[in-house]
Structure 1
Amino acid sequence: MAGNVSTPGATVVSRALAVLYAFDNGHRRLGVAEVARRTGLPAPTVHRLLRELAAGEALTRGDDGRYVIGRRLWDVGRLAPEQTELQQVASPFLSDIHAATRATVHLAVRDGMEVLYLDRLSGRASVPVVSRPGSRLPLHATGVGKVLLAHAPEQLRDAYLAADLRTPTVHTITQPGRLRRQLAAVRREGHATTEDEMTLGACSIAVPIVRTAPGAAGGSEVVAALGIVVPTLKRERTRLLTALHVAAQGIARSLP
């Protein structure tokens, strides 16, 4: 993108989008020089665009002079029809799981090669959780991510496993062969688990939300994943898994 937006013929809109797209899960706070480097745009142009985007509340400028994505932009993103509909349908089920388990509950979808968190209800237990609504994390290091990767198209899954995978902790599974076997087990058993793979002291268990197409010839597709994060899965694994399956089935039945 940098090569296109830095040319004289690039539009103001394309340059503004390039500035916004410079922010990602690994680059949440950026200064003028960092955005200029990531977009290929001149620093004066970046400085002007950042100020205008901040004035429109698409970005927020911190006391250190660096910028972060603004709440207004997140609110606009939440208007995407599929995500809004899914969140609205899933919301009462997430609340039911949260009330029954007092654990952190996640609703997530796959966005390209990452897991995108649509909603999160925080649990009472002191568990380190790095996700938040709108954040993106590695598919292979999270429970909901493993579910979504296991049910992704085979070509995408192969490309993902061939990439240089991040290792958030020493327990993160990155070996392609081991991951492939684990993903096969996720499809076979209907759920995924992690232990200290995204953050130390946090375990997760997740299940797919499967929408079945109407009609005798209709197939099914995994549209999202539902997960719980707890300090350990040793004591209440069965109870947590049952709660997730019941909620996932309820969400699936409620989807239009």
Structure 2
Amino acid sequence: MSLQAGGPMVERWHPPAQPHGVGLGRLPAEPVLEGESGADPMNSVLGKVRPILEAFTADDSALPLAELVRRSGVAKATVHRLAQELVTWGLLEREGCDYRLGLRLFELGQRVHRQRILREAVQPYMEDLLLITRETIHFAIHDSLDVVYLDKIFPHRGLNAESRVAGRLPLYCTGTGKAILAHSPPSLFVDVVRHGLKPVTRHTVVSPGRLRAQLDRIREEGIALETEEIRLGYASLAVPVFAGRTSLVGALSITAPTYRMDAAGHATALRTAALGIGRSLT
């Protein structure tokens, strides 16, 4: 299904053409001494590169060296040296005296096979839901204690700024997260509670007992409704997506302002789309 100009907006990754012969190069070799298998991973080159790259947030266009040092916790001389190598590899780009994440990271992200297959499967159903509901549609997958938004499409009205493609939000207070958590092993619930249920808004459920009751109801009804737990004035209706009968692959949701959320009216379309995605994955 194609979207016409002036129609709904689509926030999605689109892989650029792969430049011929571009490689990551080699990391500098560091000696490994006998008995060091249990050494602190932060002492390795990769252990220092990771916090440098993760210092950037989705809202950062570029960061000065001093801010990279502060956020990463890595020594200034090391950050300066590694940043120059990351620029050479295309993982960072230089903008004056500042650094920003490089296009090479974007290119590598497109090669993750599982996510690419899932996006291709969900896109037609998300577009159908958008046309039916005229509300924001998300597809999210589970990673650690968060949901990661694999795809998002939305109409011009009521843009939802809390979520973004490749962005993360907690499992316990999002519609997609609750749908996933309700159909995951009990050990995941234990891990989420152990990590702490922190309020995002005044409506966020931070009681383990209340959250457990919510998840029990979601399992029974097959659908999750989150209201103002992640953003005031907004609600999300979500369902789990299974490949086959039992293989949980993610969750599909409709997000709308609370005054416009039609949970009863949208539930059937949402469930139908989830079943269609599941069939396309088997």
Band of TM-score, shorter chain: 0.7 to 0.9
Please state whether the residue corresponding to 1:162 is helix, strand or coil: helix
Distance apart, 1:26 and its partner CA:
10
Residues 90 and 102 of structure 2 are in contact (CA less than 8 Å); yes or no, is this contact kept in structure 1?
yes
State whether structure 2 residue 95 is matched by structure 1 residue 58.
Answer: no
- Deviation for aligned residue 1:201: 1.4
Q: How does 1:1-256 map to 2 (within 5 A)?
A: 3-6=40-43, 10=44, 12-23=45-56, 32-36=65-69, 39-54=72-87, 56-59=89-92, 65=98, 67=99, 69-212=101-244, 220-232=246-258, 236-256=262-282
Q: In 1, Cα distance between the equivalents of 2:191 and 2:59?
A: 20
Distance 1:60 1:173, change over 3 A: farther
Q: Describe the shift of the 1:85–1:39 C-alpha distance in structure 2 as closer, same or farther (beyond 3 A).
A: same
Counterpart code for 2:79: V
Q: CA deviation at 1:129?
A: 3.1
- What is the rounded CA distance, in whole Å, between the counterparts of 2:63 and 2:234 in structure 1? 29
Q: How many residues align?
A: 245
Distance change in 2, residues 1:201/1:38 (3 Å):
same
- Give the distance between the partners of 1:246 and 1:94, measured in 2 at CA: 11
Secondary structure of 2:50's counterpart equals: helix
Supply the distance in 2 between the matched residues of 1:185 and 1:33 (Cα, whole angstroms).
49
Q: How many Å apart are 1:124 and its aligned residue?
A: 3.3
Aligned partners of 2:235 and 2:261 also within 8 Å: no
TM-score by length of 2: 0.76
1:112/1:235 Cα in 2 relative to 1: closer, same or farther (>3 Å)? Answer: closer
Task: Report the CA distance shift for 1:172/1:246 in structure 2 as closer, same or farther (over 3 A).
Answer: same
Offset from partner CA, 1:120-161 (integer Å, 9 cap, x none):
002333254311110001111110011111122211211212
CA distance in 1, matches of 2:254, 2:122: 14
Instruction: Give the CA RMSD over aligned residues.
Output: 2.9
Give 1:232 shift.
2.2
Amino acid in structure 2 at the alignment position of 1:195: T
Pair 1:68–1:131, CA change in 2 (3 A): farther
Query: Is the alpha carbon distance of 1:75 and 1:93 closer, same or farther for their aligned partners in structure 2, counting shifts above 3 Å?
Result: farther
Contact persistence 1:5–1:15 (CA under 8 A): yes
- In terms of mean alpha carbon deviation, does 161-170 or 54-63 score higher? 54-63
What residue identity is the alignment partner of 2:271? H
> Whole-Å Cα distance in 2 between the matches of residues 199 and 63 of structure 1?
36
Deviation, structure 1 residue 184: 1.0
Query: Contact (CA 8 Å) 1:210, 1:221: kept in 2 or not?
Result: yes
Q: CA deviation at 1:166?
A: 2.5
Deviation at 1:48, TM superposition (A): 2.7
TM-score (ref. length: structure 1): 0.83
Deviations 1:10-31 (A, max 9, x none): 3x44432342244567999765
State whether residues 129 and 202 of structure 1, in contact with CA within 8 Å, keep that contact through their aligned partners in structure 2: no
Q: Mark the CA change 1:248 to 1:74 in structure 2 (over 3 Å): closer, same or farther.
A: same
TM-superposition CA deviations, 1:190-238 (whole Å, max 9, x none): 01111111111111000010122xxxxxx61211100010012676222
Q: What is aligned with 1:216?
A: none
Judged with a 3 Å threshold, the aligned counterparts in structure 2 of structure 1 residues 27 and 124 are, in CA distance, closer, same or farther, namely: closer
Letter in 2 for 1:220: T
Q: Secondary structure at the match of 2:195?
A: coil
1:43-96 alpha-carbon deviations (Å, 9 max, x no partner): 11112323443454434567894x554454134223211111111111111111
Q: List gaps (5 residues or longer) in structure 1.
A: 213-218
CA contact (8 A) 2:136 2:160 kept: no
Moved more, 233-242 or 193-202: 233-242
What percentage of residue pairs aligned between the two structures are identical? 38
